[in-house]
Chain A
Amino acid sequence: DAGITQSPRHKVTETGTPVTLRCHQTENHRYMYWYRQDPGHGLRLIHYSYGVKDTDKGEVSDGYSVSRSKTEDFLLTLESATSSQTSVYFCAISDLDNGPEAFFGQGTRLTVV
């Protein structure tokens, strides 16, 4: 299994509070991604990174920000959590030298009440 660790695995937070999810990889892969999974929508890309300090938006980026100060860490921040951000969040990594596949972390279940 690819060395990807997401933390926390579960979190309950209140509307309006900031939340940061962490993705840590030990594979030295260049690309990292944050997806959210919701019933009926599959997984949708929030943000991705193609290198340290290089990030870009995905299809559902509103209300989220990301940072990548080191190759191994990719942080997803909800500045002011809303109930619509209740979801399961997945981090993924890839490195084109090892093929096109993306490998996923275990997911974080976030509930905003």
Chain B
Amino acid sequence: AQTVTQSQPEMSVQEAETVTLSCTYDTSENNYYLFWYKQPPSRQMILVIRQEAYKQQNATENRFSVNFQKAAKSFSLKISDSQLGDTAMYFCAFMKHVGTSGSRLTFGEGTQLTVNP
């Protein structure tokens, strides 16, 4: 079974600064996907970024980038130029390589990020 751990329950950052959220996972799989989801106060789960384990290059999406360290089983999210709208709960999630079970996700506990003006 897979486990995902987010060791930072809460974090805060000043507007326009950079913040990094940590995530570690445990798996015996070699092929898998990792995701970061954002949950603002509206409760909607929003996909932020995705990383395929077979890709060595770290994924980036505008101000969001990841540091994927496969050997260390680490998957951190860096948010650059933080904005007030980035205030949300962030979840790290693991998914085995797709198969008949589809996109079953294992989530971490979440990190509440607050961006201060």
With A96-B98, A106-B44 known as contacts, the answer to whether A101 contacts B109 (CB < 8 A) is no
Q: By CB atoms of chain B within 10 A, which of A40, A48, A90, A104 has the most?
A: A104
SS of B interface (majority): loop
**Interface size of B as a range:** 20 to 34
Cβ contact within 8 Å between B98 and A100: yes
In the complex, which residues of chain A have a beta carbon less than 8 angstroms from the beta carbon of B107?
42-44
Say yes or no: is A103 at the interface (Cβ < 8 Å to chain B).
Answer: yes
Task: Please give the residue numbers on chain A whose beta carbons come within 8 Å of chain B beta carbons, in ascending order.
Answer: 30-31, 33, 35, 40-45, 48, 50, 56, 58, 88, 90, 92, 94, 96, 100-104, 106-107
Which A residue sits closest to B100, measured CB to CB? Answer: A50
In the complex, which residues of chain A have a beta carbon less than 8 angstroms from the beta carbon of B102?
30-31, 33, 48, 50, 94, 96
In the complex, which residues of chain A have a beta carbon less than 8 angstroms from the beta carbon of B43?
88, 106-107
**CA A30 – CA B103 in complex, angstroms?**
11
With A41-B109, A43-B91 known as contacts, the answer to whether A104 contacts B45 (CB < 8 A) is yes
